[in-house]
A = this chain, B = another copy of it.
Amino acid sequence: EALKQRRMQAVSIRRRTVSVRVEGGINLEIRKAEEKVVDSVVVAEISKPVTAYCRCWRSGTFPLCDGSHVKHNKATGDNVGPLLLKK
């Protein structure tokens, strides 16, 4: 009887659903004190022929892209990349 009870308990444990909150969502570290991270670019002030802006939130030079999306994509199977501003 004790064994049967243990087995039933094990079954109920296996069927239990586990709720998981993805901590911090997409942005894990950048300017977390700000309620919403919005950046502005005055396009008339752009000097280089091409400037890459980060959309993966992993760049060490955010809001600019530093290529960190490559590591993120490799680690997770994701396919994110930057927005290129062209003069």
By a beta-carbon cutoff of 8 Å, the part of chain A in contact with chain B is 2, 6, 9, 13, 18, 20-22, 24-27, 31-32, 34-44, 46, 53-57, 63, 69, 72-73, 76-87
Contacts and interface: CB of A to CB of B under 8 A. Distances in A.
How many chain copies does the complex carry? 2
A41 B76 contact: no
Given A25-B73, A25-B76, A37 B85 contact: no
A25 to B, nearest CB: 3
B34 A83 contact: no
B84 A40 contact: yes
Contacts of A36: 69, 73, 79-81
B76 A37 contact: no
A39 B82 CA distance: 7
Given A40-B86, A43-B86, A43-B87, 16 more contacts: A18-B20, A24-B78, A26-B56, A26-B80, A27-B79, A34-B79, A35-B79, A36-B79, A38-B83, A38-B84, A39-B84, A41-B86, A43-B46, A53-B53, A54-B55, A85-B85
